[in-house]
Structure 1
Amino acid sequence: MSLQARLLMNLVAGGLLLAALAYDWLGNLAHELIGTVMFGLLFAHNTFNRRWYGSAVRKGGRDLRAWLNSATIAALAAAMLILLTTSIIISRSLFSALPIASSFGARQLHAQAAYWALVVVAVHVGMRWSMIMTSMRSWLRLGAPNAGRTWILRVVALSIAAYGIHSWTVIGTSARL
């Protein structure tokens, strides 16, 4: 798969994670459909990046950054596995025909795992930010880094981060973790 397709797939998966958090606006069926597509994209993401797992095990924790990267991916895998498992348990639309009893505890665990997944995905993306920007520069066929463009993109990124922090406090996400 081309680099552009992989970047787009990852962007869509991240957008779907955010969209899935709008459960009250979208309703249950849309939430379950979004989650199912997101998990399909995550499966593809891990399939395309499977070589990393082998090289990470072989190389081990070379330094603090490598150790933090592995810990972040382990936390993300745990959150996503909890989300996947609880999704099937509490499903009222797509998987409701399965003979699994739903529980209030599973719903709470699902919601908590979703908020933690959002935090860990942000760390995961942040740790790869320079690689993402290099890939985007290549994809868009931009030349060498340009100081003006760099500052404009930094202001845009800072604005998005500031709005995210504002939303975090308005919604009261800290209390949900």
Structure 2
Amino acid sequence: MAHAILGITLFVLFAAHHLLNMRWFRMLGRGRYNTQRTLFVAIDALLCAAMVLMAVSSVLMSGSVFEAAPIRTTQFARDLHLASSAWGFLLMAIHLGLHTRGALSRMRAHARNTAFDYVQLLLMALIALAGVWCFADSGLLGDMLLLGTRRNHAAGVAVSFARYLCVVASVCIAVYGLFSISRMATSRRSGKQ
């Protein structure tokens, strides 16, 4: 029941987030689409699809919350729920990374050419590596690819939450790193011309 209530709350927050950002939807048909804007829209569209699949599959597989519904629980609905949840989690992390890369850029700019610059890079690298390990250990990839991997749930809620938070932080760092590399490559190309 707690899982169902948290899931419904997540979907309500997702819907509220979109209602509060209706201006973004109105702007979709305006302006030019460069690589960055196309990436933003593609990630958001995929995230929206994953959230809808999560909601639909939860109704299809729920026994206690939607027991009045004339739908029988199936293994397909459970698999679809696991896959859409895993993809939704990763896409939310990428979405967050796209929105936090400006803050990471400012943080890096303030530390540039100081002693903290190397400490900051080392911390980011350690967080990224820890996030990769947590992602591999979490079983998310198995859920994303419908491989049916088993997880060790003995760690507890706090440890599991910390692991997923580490995955999100590493994805944000990866998005920041990819944009930084892209920006450097673009500036080098424009400098040679």
Q: How does the TM-score come out when normalised to structure 2? A: 0.62
What residue is the counterpart of 2:140 in the other structure?
173
> CA offsets per residue over residues 53-104 of structure 1, 9 Å max, x none?
111222252x011111111011001101100111111112221222222211
Residues 63 and 73 of structure 2 are in contact (CA less than 8 Å); yes or no, is this contact kept in structure 1?
no
Supply the distance in 2 between the matched residues of 1:100 and 1:171 (Cα, whole angstroms).
31
- Aligned: 1:37 with 2:4: no
Q: Map of 1:119-130 to 2, 5 A cutoff?
A: 119-130=90-101
Instruction: Give 1:110's match in structure 2, choosing from 49, 67, 81.
Output: 81
How many residue pairs get aligned? The number is 140
Secondary structure, in 3 states, of the residue corresponding to 2:28?
helix
Q: Helix, strand or coil for the counterpart of 1:46?
A: helix
Letter in 1 for 2:16: A
The amino acid that maps onto 1:164 is: G
Cα distance between partner residues in 1 of 2:10 and 2:87: 16
Give 1:51's aligned residue.
23
For the residues of structure 2 that align with 1:47 and 1:156, how far apart are their CA atoms? 37
1:162 matched to 2:129? The reply is yes
* C-alpha distance in structure 1 between counterparts of 2:128 and 2:53, whole Å: 27
Q: List alignment gaps of at least 5 residues for structure 1.
A: 1-28, 138-144
Using structure 1 for the length normalisation, give the TM-score. 0.67
SS in 2 for 1:96: coil
How many angstroms apart in 2 are the aligned matches of 1:34 and 1:157? 31
Q: Which amino acid in 1 is paired with 2:67?
A: S
Q: What 5-or-longer segments of structure 2 have no aligned partner?
A: 145-193
| 2:46 matches 1:75 | yes
Q: CA RMSD in A?
A: 2.6
Offset at residue 146 of structure 1 (A): 4.3
1:91 alignment partner in structure 2: 62
Looking at CA atoms only, which structure, 1 or 2, has the larger radius of gyration? 2
Classify 1:36/1:159 alpha carbon distance in 2 versus 1 (closer, same or farther; 3 Å): farther
Q: Counterparts of 1:86 and 1:150 in 2: how far apart (Å)? A: 46
Q: How high is the sequence identity, in percent, across the aligned residues?
A: 27
The 1-side partners of 2:61 and 2:143 are apart by 19
Question: Secondary structure at the residue paired with 1:57?
Answer: coil
